[in-house]
Amino acid sequence: MHKPYAVVFPGQGSQKPGMGREVLDTSAQARRVFEEVSEAVGRDIAELCICADDETLRRTDNAQIALYATCVATYRATAVTRPPLALAGHSVGEYAALACASVFSVAEGAQLVERRGHLMAEAASQRPGTMAAILGLDDETTEATCAHVSAGNGVVVVANYNSPGQTVVSGDVNAVLSAMELLKQRGAKRFIQLNVSGAFHSPLMEDAARKMGEALSAASFNPPLIPVVSNVTANVEDGWANLLEQQLRLPVRWTQSVRRMGELGAVTFVECGPGEVLSGLIRRIDPEAVTVSAKDYRRQ
């Protein structure tokens, strides 16, 4: 018998060439999701996922819609006897969670994700920024260091609370580089500058968030059929138009979100999407949690 479980959906960085091929080959429901997404955004997303090279898929305006389609299709292809206790997605993965909870249709979610990807790419080109993963340092020290640097050298903030001892900082290039050096002096074991074009989940996304808010205000939102835990608050929420706007400029509270799903009773976490990035984070957040890919969960 399956134990109480939650389903999680990865965000940008998990994309890889060929993703989605297996569910497209084996599931009519998955194929229909890709058809709906492609029709909604006016381009062939299955072809993008399967045929595009790594560099093409890495582009923000491609990565986000490709991940959305793959994550929703994977969920639809996963036959379960009872619904999960909760859903959650990391950054853009939250849109997949909301579509799977029927907060909006697959097509409307696709249009929102397409708009989000373009706005974030545009913001990055207008004010280039960067992001860096910080390993082996507590959240409070990282937050204090970012505040210190931001007082005199551009903007840098914590963008992701990924797991205990692993955060991501985001902001102006010079500010991020300064923060990395200072964090090293303060005990960070390792830091990795990420291969991204923009400072996501930071104040540099303010204009993109405002424009995204306009698109969200015109969208239709339904009460979730399954509870969805928000990146912004790490709680089950329902005011999604406002939360999705805030999400662009505020941090992803993944550590707190996973703990919240545990409080709701989830002991197993099923990752719906390419790779196992979230599974690795979840095991560091809660060593007793069971993590499994959607593919393997279908076989149980």
Could you read off the pLDDT of 238-291 as tens digits, one per residue?
899 999 999 999 999 999 999 999 999 999 999 999 989 999 999 999 999 999
Q: Quick one: which of 283, 111, 90 has its CA closest to 201?
A: 90
Alpha helices in the chain (DSSP H): 21-26, 28-41, 45-51, 54-58, 60-77, 93-100, 106-126, 139-150, 173-185, 206-217, 240-247, 254-263, 277-285, 294-298
Of the residues 27, 170, 201, 230, only one is catalytic, namely 201
- What is the reported pLDDT for 103? 97
Q: Report pTM.
A: 0.95
Could you read off the pLDDT of 55-99 as tens digits, one per residue?
999 999 999 999 999 999 999 998 666 889 999 999 999 999 999
| Residue 91 annotated as catalytic | yes
For each of the domains in the chain, give its residue range(s) and CATH number, in order of start. Answer: 5-125+204-298 (3.40.366.10), 129-196 (3.30.70.250)
Of the residues 27, 91, 163, 293, only one is catalytic, namely 91
Which residues, other chains included, contact 61 with Cβ-Cβ below 8 Å and sequence gap of 6+?
114, 117, 118, 120, 121
| Residue 148 annotated as catalytic | no
Rounded alpha-carbon distances, angstroms, from residue 276 to 80, 183, 271, 288, 295: 20, 28, 7, 17, 11
